[in-house]
Structure 1
Amino acid sequence: MGAAEHSTFWLLYGQYGATMTVEKFRDEFLPKITMKTLHNWIARGDAPRPLNGILDTRDVADWWDTLRRSNA
């Protein structure tokens, strides 16, 4: 992880802890889409892949940084 990614991880870790549920992820980052749409995004690889419905905050930080760089 580079400096920017490291900072994003620690911000998310401080706010949400080490893990977050898929529902919490949707509520916080993609509130306007349905759960079905989010599951389609996950299947396509457009969102972090959960394990048993739980996301690792590191994966969310990597996803966020990638999304931010692609929109810059």
Structure 2
Amino acid sequence: MEHIRPTLTRIFPEVGDDLVSNRRRPILHFLEDTSPGRHDTLIAACDSHRYALLGCIGYHDNCTDNFHAARV
């Protein structure tokens, strides 16, 4: 996430942006956003471990799993 901010020159990615690796290579194109919220690049992508620390019991959809599922 920390490499996306200087590449985009803003905190919030928008539809049409390319999200990049730590080598600044595009790895994901932000094609559509159907979520109700905004996405920031200030913290790492959420994952099952974060939700467990927040008290979530059972599985909760998260950015890390979504990313891995999309890499098919």
TM-score (norm 2): 0.33
- RCO comparison, higher one (Cα < 8 Å, 6+): 1
Q: Looking at CA atoms only, which structure, 1 or 2, has the larger radius of gyration?
A: 2
**Greater per-residue helix proportion:** 1
